[in-house]
Structure 1
Amino acid sequence: MASPATMLVLCLRTTTMSAVKIVVAESIADAGLELLAAYAQVDLATEADHEELTRRLREADALVVRSATQVDARMIGASPKLRVIGRAGIGVDNIDLEAATRAGVLVVNAPQANTVSAAEHTMALLLAQARNIAQADAALRNGSWDRKRFRGVEVHGKTLGIIGLGNIGTLVAKRAAAFGMRLIGYDPYVLPARASRVGVELCADLAGLCAEADFITVHLPRTRETEGLIGADLFALMQDGVRIVNTSRGGIVDEEALADAVRSGKVAGAALDVYSSEPLRDSPLFELPQVVLTPHLGASTREAQDRAATDVAEAVVAALNGELVLSAVNVDLGQDISDEVRRFLAVAEHLGKVFVALAGGLPRVLTIRAEGRLGEYAIRPLRLGVLKGVLAGSSDAPVSYVNAPAMAADRGVSVEEESSDEARGYQSVFRVSGVVAGRTISVAGTVGRGPLIAGILGFALELPLANHLLIIRNEDIPGMIGRVGTLLGELDINIADMVLGRSQDHPGIALMALSVDRSMSDAELDGLRAMEGVGEAVEVELDLH
Structure 2
Amino acid sequence: MAPKVLVSDKLSETAVQIFRDRGIDVDFMPDLGKDKEKLAELVGQYDGLAIRSATKVTPTILEAATNLKVVGRAGIGTDNVDKEAASKKGVIVMNTPFGNMITTAEHAIAMMFAVARQIPEASESTHAGKWEKSKFMGVELTNKTLGVIGAGNIGGIVCDRARGLKMKVIAYDPFLSEEKADKMGVEKVELDDLLGRADFITLHVPFIAGVTENILSAENLAKTKKGVRIINCARGGLVDEAALAELLKSGHVAGAAFDVFAEEPAKENPLFNLPNVVCTPHLGAATTEAQENVALQVAEQMSNYLLTGAVENALNMPSVTAEEAKVMGPWIKLADHLGAFAGQMTDEPIKAINILYDGVVAEMNLEALNCSVISGIMKKANPDVNMVSAPVIAKERGIQISTTNQDKSGSFDGYIKVTVVTDDMERSVAGTVFSDGKPRFIQIKGINIDAEVGAHMLYTTNEDVPGIIGTLGQTMGENGVNIANFTLGRSEVGGGAIALLYVDEEVPAPIRQKLIETGLFKQVKPLVFDV
Structure-1-length-normalised TM-score: 0.58
1:200-349 correspondence to structure 2 within 5 Å? 200-204=186-190, 206-224=191-209, 225-320=211-306, 321-325=308-312, 327-331=313-317, 349=324
Structure 1 position 90, deviation (Å): 1.7
Residues 283-337 of structure 1, C-alpha deviations (whole Å, 9 max, x = no match): 3322112101122222222211110110111122233332131x2233578xxxx
The answer for the alignment partner of 2:12 in structure 1 is 29
Q: Cα gap change, 1:228/1:418 in structure 2, threshold over 3 Å: closer, same or farther?
A: closer
The answer for the alignment partner of 1:451 in structure 2 is none
The answer for the alignment partner of 2:53 in structure 1 is 67
DSSP 3-state at the match of 1:125: helix
Q: Which amino acid aligns with 1:223?
A: I
Structure 1 position 188, deviation (Å): 2.5
Out of 122, 129, 147, the residue aligned to residue 136 of structure 1 is: 122
Q: Cα gap change, 1:299/1:419 in structure 2, threshold over 3 Å: closer, same or farther?
A: closer
The answer for the alignment partner of 1:381 in structure 2 is 371
Out of 22, 33, 44, the residue aligned to residue 28 of structure 2 is: 44
Q: Give the Cα separation in 2 of the matches to 1:383 and 1:226.
A: 23
Structure 1 position 432, deviation (Å): 9.2
Q: Give the Cα separation in 2 of the matches to 1:127 and 1:89.
A: 26
Tell whether the 8 Å contact from 1:368 to 1:433 is kept in structure 2 after alignment. Answer: no
Q: Give the Cα separation in 1 of the matches to 2:255 and 2:278.
A: 8
Q: Which amino acid aligns with 1:324?
A: V
1:96-107 correspondence to structure 2 within 5 Å? 96-107=82-93
Q: Give the Cα separation in 2 of the matches to 1:186 and 1:266.
A: 22
DSSP 3-state at the match of 1:22: strand
Tell whether the 8 Å contact from 1:370 to 1:431 is kept in structure 2 after alignment. Answer: no
Structure 1 position 418, deviation (Å): 9.5
Structure 1 position 434, deviation (Å): 11
Q: Give the Cα separation in 1 of the matches to 2:300 and 2:409.
A: 35
The answer for the alignment partner of 1:367 in structure 2 is 360
Q: Cα gap change, 1:244/1:139 in structure 2, threshold over 3 Å: closer, same or farther?
A: same
Tell whether the 8 Å contact from 1:271 to 1:293 is kept in structure 2 after alignment. Answer: yes
Residues 493-544 of structure 1, C-alpha deviations (whole Å, 9 max, x = no match): xxxxxxxxxxxxxxxxxxxxxxxxxxxxxxxxxxxxxxxxxxxxxxxxxxxx
Residues 107-137 of structure 1, C-alpha deviations (whole Å, 9 max, x = no match): 2212221111111111111011001111111
Tell whether the 8 Å contact from 1:369 to 1:419 is kept in structure 2 after alignment. Answer: no
Q: Cα gap change, 1:54/1:190 in structure 2, threshold over 3 Å: closer, same or farther?
A: farther
Q: Cα gap change, 1:161/1:52 in structure 2, threshold over 3 Å: closer, same or farther?
A: same
DSSP 3-state at the match of 1:185: strand
The answer for the alignment partner of 2:333 in structure 1 is none
Q: Give the Cα separation in 2 of the matches to 1:350 and 1:293.
A: 46
Q: Cα gap change, 1:366/1:233 in structure 2, threshold over 3 Å: closer, same or farther?
A: farther
Larger Rg: 1
Tell whether the 8 Å contact from 1:214 to 1:243 is kept in structure 2 after alignment. Answer: yes
RMSD across aligned positions (CA): 3.7
Q: Give the Cα separation in 2 of the matches to 1:379 and 1:85.
A: 24
Q: Which amino acid aligns with 2:6?
A: V
DSSP 3-state at the match of 1:148: helix
Residues 321-364 of structure 1, C-alpha deviations (whole Å, 9 max, x = no match): 32131x2233578xxxxxxxxxxx779949969xxxxxxxxxxx
Residues 347-395 of structure 1, C-alpha deviations (whole Å, 9 max, x = no match): 9949969xxxxxxxxxxx9633399xx99x99523889xxxxxxxxxxx
The answer for the alignment partner of 2:153 in structure 1 is 167
Aligned residues: 357
Tell whether the 8 Å contact from 2:10 to 2:31 is kept in structure 1 after alignment. Answer: no
Residue ranges of structure 1 left out of the alignment (5+ in a row)? 1-16, 334-344, 354-364, 385-400, 403-416, 421-429, 441-545
DSSP 3-state at the match of 2:262: coil
* Fraction of identical pairs, as percent: 39
Q: Cα gap change, 1:196/1:301 in structure 2, threshold over 3 Å: closer, same or farther?
A: same
Tell whether the 8 Å contact from 1:35 to 1:310 is kept in structure 2 after alignment. Answer: yes
Q: Which amino acid aligns with 1:270?
A: A
Structure 1 position 98, deviation (Å): 2.7
DSSP 3-state at the match of 1:268: strand
The answer for the alignment partner of 1:79 in structure 2 is 65
Q: Cα gap change, 1:134/1:21 in structure 2, threshold over 3 Å: closer, same or farther?
A: same
Tell whether the 8 Å contact from 1:186 to 1:202 is kept in structure 2 after alignment. Answer: yes
Q: Cα gap change, 1:232/1:35 in structure 2, threshold over 3 Å: closer, same or farther?
A: same
DSSP 3-state at the match of 1:369: helix
Structure 1 position 263, deviation (Å): 1.2
Structure 1 position 106, deviation (Å): 2.3
Q: Which amino acid aligns with 1:29?
A: S
